[in-house]
């Protein structure tokens, strides 16, 4: 699932979409961050499950990279699903 999180630059407060909150992203949510990404973890999730989830995301990114490299310039803002089908 691709989603956007809006973060207010002054207050630092973030809006988490209702669909994500319904999946368990409520209360105190752990985040693992580096200089480019932030991984939010549903409370109570085992690290092995987080790793499997990230491996799935990496596979999805590989597909998106392949799709991005094949499309004409200026079309890279489209969102594609795992099969490379445009969903926007």
pLDDT in tens, 32-53: 999 999 999 999 999 999 999 9
**pLDDT at position 15, please?**
93
> Tokens for 41?
């973890």
Q: What is the pLDDT of residue 37?
A: 93
Asked whether the beta carbons of 25 and 17 are under 8 A apart, the reply is no
Regions of the chain with pLDDT less than 70 = 73-88
What pLDDT sits at residue 1?
78
H-assigned helices in the chain: 18-22, 47-70
CA 87 remoteness from chain centre: 15
């Amino acid at each position: 699932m691709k989603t956007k999180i809006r973060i207010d630059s002054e207050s630092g407060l973030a809006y988490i979409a209702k669909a994500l909150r319904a999946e368990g992203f409520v209360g105190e949510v752990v985040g693992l961050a580096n200089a480019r990404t932030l991984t939010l973890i549903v409370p109570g999730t085992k690290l092995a499950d987080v790793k499997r989830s990230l491996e799935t995301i990496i596979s999805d990114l590989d597909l998106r990279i392949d799709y991005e490299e094949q499309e004409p310039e200026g079309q890279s803002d489209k969102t594609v699903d795992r099969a490379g089908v445009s969903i926007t």
